[in-house]
Amino acid sequence: MWWDERVSARFRRNLQPTLTYWSVFFSFGLCIAFLGPTLLDLRCQTQSSLSQITWVFFSQQFCLLLGSCLGGVFKRTLSQSLFALFASSLAISLVFAIIPLCHNVVVLAVVMAVAGLAMGCIDTISNMQLVKIYQKDSAIFLQALHFFVGFGALLSPLIADPFLSDTNCILSNSTANASSNLPHIRKSLVPHHPGNLSHYDLPMKGMVVTRVSYAFWIMALINLPVPIAVFFLLYKERMVPCFSSSSHPLLSADELAMETRPVDKDELSTTVQRPHGAVGHDDLFSCCQSKNFRGASYTYFAVHITGALVLFMTDGIVGEYSGFIYSYAVEEPLSVVHKVAGYLPSLFWGFITLGRLISIPVSYRMKPATMVFINVVGVLITFLLLLIFSYSVVFLFVGTASLGLFLSSTFPSMLAYTEDILQYKGCATTVLVTGAGIGEMVLQLLVGSIIHDQGSYSFLVCGMIFGGLAFTFYAFLLFFHRMYPKPSADVDDASPDKPAARDDTGQYQR
């Protein structure tokens, strides 16, 4: 195996919880990507206008951000975390099943708000629990976790595609005028930014003919094994009230050997620090309480803030690029054919997923700090080349693929690096997840407004500026890392240059 025996042994001991958290993140990906392709059919189902239905995007994104902030509330015990994940993954299956029954746009927005809250809880809790289990070995497992998001995000549009309407799904006298433009309108839709699509005459009254309900019911069935997997983990940990017992399973021979082996210097320092680490990873509001700041140096706050700002920019780039690349391509100076331009968002997400898959083995050999540096520099250079070759359709496809690769591993690498600096004592996971969520929503809205006022060329200029800011904030993070107080041990446990320290047992903490 390409990783050492220690990491492999830890993975085997925590196999079921790790696979469960990965599967829950698949639910997250499945739910985050279905809305864009199906929005026009949902507009027909609710018989609403284009501007009204785009508020469903905002409802989901805002509540996803709120759920990310509140997700840390459920981390205080393993039981709370698992019950929250069970409820959230089950809620996503129920949302998929209920969406076909929503014939009012307000009801649909409320249902998507519930989905957003569930997704936010999944995002925060799954990242937190994997960091808690693997600590300094967490980078590789976080990369795998975020691969499953990309896999789910790729799968849901593929499921929906056969059931999308090729012509207008509300039959009326004006249907013929809008039917030929329907694929273009679908690919141009961006959260809360109908933009220049308002001149299309889309009927709101008439006979509704759409088969998109089947897509949602299929996704509900595909997602159903995920809450079942979480329930089995609850059962294994004796946390289901009806099946709880005071006794726990005996350790296997390998686990017993790990428990009884001698403790070396690195492990001792990690063990001594763990009781203090328990104060970290609260929800965002608990993190902001003054009692958590007593005795903290200014670099403690600086690491949190700069880390969140890096992800604010990089996740914001993911949101705005995937949302507007189609609109940019079909307008001058490129004027790409609509059908060809429609492949660009899929290419972008495909290379994000591929990059996350590649990053799983790479993250074992390369330090998180180095991976983030390569990512932010790669994003900056890619946008620079896209500006230089802004008249080349071929390079637009090459640049889109390159950007997807460089952005793919930024979040998990940044999370692992920041937690490593803070020695797993701060609120890095909650703050970084929240910062990324705000960036994805705010930059998308900002870029949409700028493109509307200044034209499509400003799309690449905005990306270049955001990439430059991400690099600047990362440079500040490196500076604050050097200034951050060293742990009491002889070796700097927080340094990204130090090999991963062993946990005392590597056991799944109850």
Whose tokens are 């009781």? That residue is 275
How many percent of the chain have pLDDT more than 90?
29
Q: Note down the domain range covering 376.
A: 296-486
**Residue-by-residue DSSP string for 356-399:** HHHHHHHHHHS-HHHHHHHHHHHHHHHHHHHHHTTT-HHHHHHH
Total number of residues shown for the chain: 510
Question: What pLDDT, in 10s, does the model give residues 436-481?
Answer: 888 888 888 888 888 878 887 888 999 999 999 999 999 999 999 9
Other C-beta atoms closer than 10 Å to the C-beta of 443 total: 23
Percent of the chain with pLDDT strictly greater than 70: 74
Q: Based on the domain organization, do 110 and 215 belong to the same domain?
A: yes
Same domain, 328 and 472: yes
Average the pLDDT over 195-218 and give the result.
66
CA torsion, ordered 484, 502, 428, 497, to nearest 10 deg? 40
Q: Is residue 428 part of a domain?
A: yes
Residue 474 included in any domain: yes
What CA–CA distance (Å, rounded) separates 383 from 376?
11
* The predicted structure's pLDDT at residue 274: 39
* Whether residue 324 is found in the same domain as residue 434: yes
pLDDT-wise least confident of 114-118, 164-168, 387-391, 453-457: 164-168
Both structure tokens of 465? 């500026």
Q: Answer yes or no: is 176 within a domain.
A: no
The answer to whether residues 230 and 338 belong to one domain is no
139 and 27 in one domain?
yes
* Reported pTM: 0.74
The confidence score (pLDDT) of residue 323 equals 79
Q: ∠ CA 435-440-443 to the nearest 5 degrees?
A: 105
* Cis peptide bond upstream of 333, omega within 30: yes
Instruction: Name residue, tokens 């609109």.
Output: 327
Task: Give the chain's domain count.
Answer: 2
List the CATH number of the domain containing 153. Answer: 1.20.1250.20
220 and 338 part of one domain: no
Q: Contacts by 326-334 with C-beta closer than 8 Å and gap 24+?
A: 326/187, 326/188, 327/188, 327/190, 327/195, 327/451, 327/456, 327/459, 328/451, 328/456, 328/459, 328/460, 329/393, 329/396, 330/184, 330/188, 331/456, 332/456, 333/390, 333/391, 334/390, 334/391, 334/393, 334/396
The 3-state DSSP class for residue 330 equals helix
**pLDDT tens for residues 91-125?**
999 999 999 999 898 999 999 999 999 998 998 88
Locate 165 and state its tokens: 């309407």
User: Is 355 found in the same domain as 216?
Assistant: no
Please report whether residue 108 resides in a domain: yes
CB atoms within 10 A of CB 190: 24
**Which two tokens mark 485?**
């107080």
Q: Could you give the CA distance from residue 132 to residue 454 in angstroms, rounded to a whole number?
A: 46
Distance CA(486)–CA(495), nearest Å, equals 9
Q: Are 173 and 8 in contact (CB under 8 A)?
A: no
In a domain, 160, yes or no: yes
For 487-496, the pLDDT digits (tens) are: 654 444 444 4
Same domain for 225 and 140:
yes
325 and 219 together in one domain: no
Judged by DSSP in three states, 327 sits in helix
pLDDT digits over 340-367, tens only? 887 888 889 889 989 999 998 898 889 9
User: How are beta strands 170-171 and 207-208 bridged, if at all?
Assistant: antiparallel
Q: Which two tokens stand for residue 344?
A: 């660009």
336 and 409 both lie in a single domain:
yes
Tokens 């997923």 belong to 353
Q: Please give the span between the terminal C-alpha atoms of the chain, in angstroms, as a whole number.
A: 29
Cα angle for residues 349, 347, 474 (degrees, 5° grid): 50
Q: Largest Cα–Cα distance of the chain, in whole Å? A: 81
Is the domain of 19 the same as that of 82?
A: yes
Distance CA 508, CA 510 (A): 6
Is the residue at 290 inside a domain? no
